[in-house]
Structure 1
Amino acid sequence: MMSYISNADNLCWLMPELDRVIRRLHRVVGNAVVDDDRFIIVGNGSTQIFHALLYALSSPDQPEPISVVAAALSTRHIRRRRSSCDRGCINGQGRRSASIRWSLHRGGDFAQQPRWLDSRNRAGHDAMLFTFSKATGHAGSRIGWAIVKDKAIAAKMVKFIELSSIGVSKESQLRAVKILGVIDDDCRNPELEDVNFFEYGRRIMSDRWEKLRRVVIKTNGVFNLPEYPQHNCKFTGEYTHATPAFAWLRCKEGLNCEELLREKCKIMTRGGTSFGGESTYTRVNMLSSDAEFTLCWKGCLRSRTHQWEIEFMLMSTLCVIN
């Protein structure tokens, strides 16, 4: 525990126990190739892993920096930038246009739970990024990892992490080993097939999306939600709809969806303009507590001839869903 390095014989100095449990979990979920010729690189969250990958893919002897392209980031905190298209990235939750998009360099950010991804086939890209926070909710542990095919790229990523933070907290690694190990054991236990960690989460999210859609239907077109096609999930073995962590709610033209929910319903969301979109959209967090979610959406929405209103049982209660 006192040394920076856990395993001097391995390419990456992560704890051997963490390497093993990450491979076990991906095998039971079936969302990524983790054969012995793949390298597991662990960093302080997926953000550091992403920076390490960009560093590893760059060429230090080039006269100019490489061009990187990703879906445009536009929030209150990030200035929109435009760049040429040399390398691609995949992004997922949180954006209205979010979908799985394959990149030119065959890499991607898969930092989500199985139920939020297209798990029809095991992904085998050159580099794949994952994070502890999205898989289990333990964001404060700051653990992210990459599955990398090329040894030279993996070695450069390790060097970047070594120079920037001298490794990753061993306490965080131990916590990840324990939690991921428990989840893996539950998924492999046939007696817990219907109540394992991921199945429980899928049921909760499916139930919440169903409730929200029932409310939206009652608005007679004032609000609408995106429709997601069914896919065969390799993890569950069933055809299921995606149940993302965020719901993009859209109002009729001319209405500001964020202001409408805040002023009429006392529900706080994040408007589309915060993400470079239109004010008719707003982003609803589907991960709030059961009490908050039930309180905020218990009621009915109804439309009238030239005006409409939203009635809730507890209008005076402020529910924060952002």
Structure 2
Amino acid sequence: MPSLGMQLITEGKYIVFGSGSTQLLNAAVYALSLNSSMSPAKVVATAPYYSLYRGQKQLFNSRDFSYEGDTSLWKNNTNSSFRFIEFVTSPNNPDGNLNKEVLKGSDVKTIYDRAYYWPHFTAIPSPADDDLMVFTISKLTGHAGSRFGLAIIKDEAVYQKMMIYLRLSTIGVSRDVQLRVLKLLDMATEGDGKEIFQFTYSTMNDHWIRLKQIIYKSKRFSLQKLSPQYCTFFKSVRDPSPAYARLKCERQQDMNCYETLKAARTIGREGSIFSADERYVRLSIIKSKDDFEILTNKLRSLVAKEWESNPASI
């Protein structure tokens, strides 16, 4: 798969298939935490982060690992008496930033969640070459219902432990799903393997530009700041095209941005879902043309009311 080969390095590594990246994330934690001679591994992430990291760990309630919150709580406390597993989402969900690990040390293991590391969602500064990284096909082709993810693993022992987890939990991935994914990838990589990325990047970038143009006129709302960056896939500097807009309510009275937007019949995901302030809401811009038009019309109406109520402040 030439397009995949330009985004990640697989030579000398092991590949594991899973029922979506969701299953693989917990399989990775299971594999990295097994060590009966030590206390449970502390699973952490940097806010704002994908809520599944916290939810899975609390659900499984394992004796081998426990969820311990934000990396900021442990940044100066990574001594030999603790083991850490840090989730790094890059690009990040919800803000699209290319995050890097925060914790350092021999007792820190890192899982890179690369679900959005595709050229239509982010510039690819270099091929991904992490010790353990997880991808999902749904963010490439849009077929989330197929439930297919893959993990690229450097350490054979970690690979073997992940395989044990997958065998015991689901006995592997359905052959029907694997065949469907193969057909999808064959279609996605026809020709030079760039056509699908050129089309989807153009669409996502257009969505981002249009959204910024609306919010730029507002003092009530703001968006995350993303900068152009060189992309090794397109071999050029490219403008941002994130999957999500992280909207902030700037007015003092709008302490719960989710409720503010909901009152205007616009639904996002609350900041607290991502362990962040309630002044933030995640808006999905991975939408069909019709759905995106509805979203922009609602936001445009909100900003227009801002003008009407206080035109001198705009």
Name the TM-score, length of structure 2 as normaliser: 0.77
Structure 1 pair 234–157 and aligned structure 2 pair: CA distance change class (3 A) = same
Root mean square deviation, CA, Å: 2.8
Contact kept, 8 Å, 2:92 with 2:99, in 1: the verdict is no
Cross-structure match for 1:46: 21
Cross-structure match for 2:224: 226
Contact kept, 8 Å, 2:246 with 2:282, in 1: the verdict is yes
> Offset at 1:130?
0.6
Structure 1 pair 25–154 and aligned structure 2 pair: CA distance change class (3 A) = farther
Cross-structure match for 1:82: 68
- Secondary structure of the 1:294 match is helix
Structure 1 pair 90–291 and aligned structure 2 pair: CA distance change class (3 A) = same
| Structure 2 stretches lacking a partner, 5+ long | 59-65, 79-83
- Rg bigger for which structure? 1
- Describe the superposition over 1:81-133 as per-residue Cα deviations: whole angstroms up to 9, x where unpaired: 52555232212443358542236435411112223244111121111111112
Worse overlay, 94-103 or 120-129:
94-103
- Describe the superposition over 1:265-306 as per-residue Cα deviations: whole angstroms up to 9, x where unpaired: x22222324433333322211012211211332345233486
Please show how residues 63-212 of structure 1 align to structure 2 within 5 Å.
63-71=38-46, 78=55, 81-82=67-68, 86-91=84-89, 92-96=91-95, 98-102=97-101, 104=104, 105=109, 107-112=111-116, 113-188=118-193, 196-212=195-211
Q: 1:244 aligns with which of 226, 239, 242?
A: 242
- Secondary structure of the 1:279 match is coil
> Offset at 1:210?
0.8
> Offset at 1:42?
0.7
For 1:271 and 1:68, locate their aligned partners in 2 and report how far apart those are by CA, in whole Å. 23
Contact kept, 8 Å, 1:121 with 1:234, in 2: the verdict is yes
Cross-structure match for 2:33: 58
Contact kept, 8 Å, 2:50 with 2:93, in 1: the verdict is no
2:160 maps to a residue whose letter is: A
Structure 1 pair 293–232 and aligned structure 2 pair: CA distance change class (3 A) = same
Cross-structure match for 2:10: 34
Cross-structure match for 1:317: none
For 2:288 and 2:181, locate their aligned partners in 1 and report how far apart those are by CA, in whole Å. 23
Contact kept, 8 Å, 1:119 with 1:234, in 2: the verdict is yes
Structure 1 pair 59–282 and aligned structure 2 pair: CA distance change class (3 A) = closer
Structure 1 pair 305–204 and aligned structure 2 pair: CA distance change class (3 A) = closer
Contact kept, 8 Å, 1:108 with 1:127, in 2: the verdict is yes
- Secondary structure of the 1:116 match is coil
- Point out which structure has higher relative CO (alpha carbons under 8 A, 6+ apart): 2
Contact kept, 8 Å, 1:25 with 1:180, in 2: the verdict is no
Structure 1 pair 273–306 and aligned structure 2 pair: CA distance change class (3 A) = farther
Structure 1 pair 39–81 and aligned structure 2 pair: CA distance change class (3 A) = closer
- Secondary structure of the 1:121 match is coil
Contact kept, 8 Å, 1:93 with 1:246, in 2: the verdict is no
Worse overlay, 252-261 or 208-217:
252-261
| Structure 1 stretches lacking a partner, 5+ long | 1-20, 309-322
Cross-structure match for 2:63: none
2:40 maps to a residue whose letter is: P
The percentage of aligned residue pairs carrying the same residue is 28
Name the TM-score, length of structure 1 as normaliser: 0.76
How many residues are paired up?
275
> Offset at 1:75?
5.8
